[in-house]
Amino acid sequence: MHTPTFRLCSDASDTHMQAPQQSILSLHTATGARKYLDAAERRRFISAATAAPIALKLLCLTLAHTGCRVSEALALTPDSLRPAEGVIAFRSLKKRSKFVVVREVPVPDAVLSDLVVLAEKCSSTEDRLWRCGRVRAWQLVKEMMRTAGIRSGPHATTKGLRHAFGLHAVRSGVPLNFVQRWLGHASMSTTAIYLQAVGPDEREIAARMWDGAPA
């Protein structure tokens, strides 16, 4: 199995990143293609990341388990980790405010413990945990998706991983206002897109409908 190589780089490469697409409140493109990893793909991504070198592993797992934006992950420092509370404190970089907006997102204990170990390698509490730029991080995540056997498409992106987290949280019974806060959405209408996808409960109800259909 091919494992992507984690390399450090400067932020200069950020200027080559493709321009962001206009935000549309939908989990599908205009042609009907989904923009999110499905549950099986998300599990394969997490499994592949677990076998990767520690820095790359933790970047991928942080994205998968928090739904944060790549820029927010790359802004993390040792001071962002709150092991006593079991959370990571993200600065919401898209917020247009003169005040610093920070949101705390719970993460699995094992991931947080490994992040603390990674943070110990930093020379200062203000050093970033990962010193690569957004473009390189985006490329590494894409390579990890290929390693996980996830085919190319609008779903196989860092944004697709963020959407997958939102869907997983909603389907796990997490209240929508919690999901809104964890993802840093300014409006509940943005978070509500995760109610669009058919979940296990709906499929179970549909199966009962089919079983009771007349012959």
Question: So where are the chain's domains?
Answer: 34-211
pTM (predicted TM-score) = 0.83
- Identify the bridge partners of residue 90 per DSSP, sorted by sequence position: 103
Mean pLDDT, rounded, of the chain: 87
* 133-181 residue pLDDT tens: 999 999 999 999 999 999 999 999 999 999 999 999 999 999 999 999 9
Structure tokens at 212: 């009771």
Domain 34-211 classification at class level: mainly alpha
Of the pLDDT bands very low, low, confident and very high (cuts 50, 70, 90), residue 96 is low
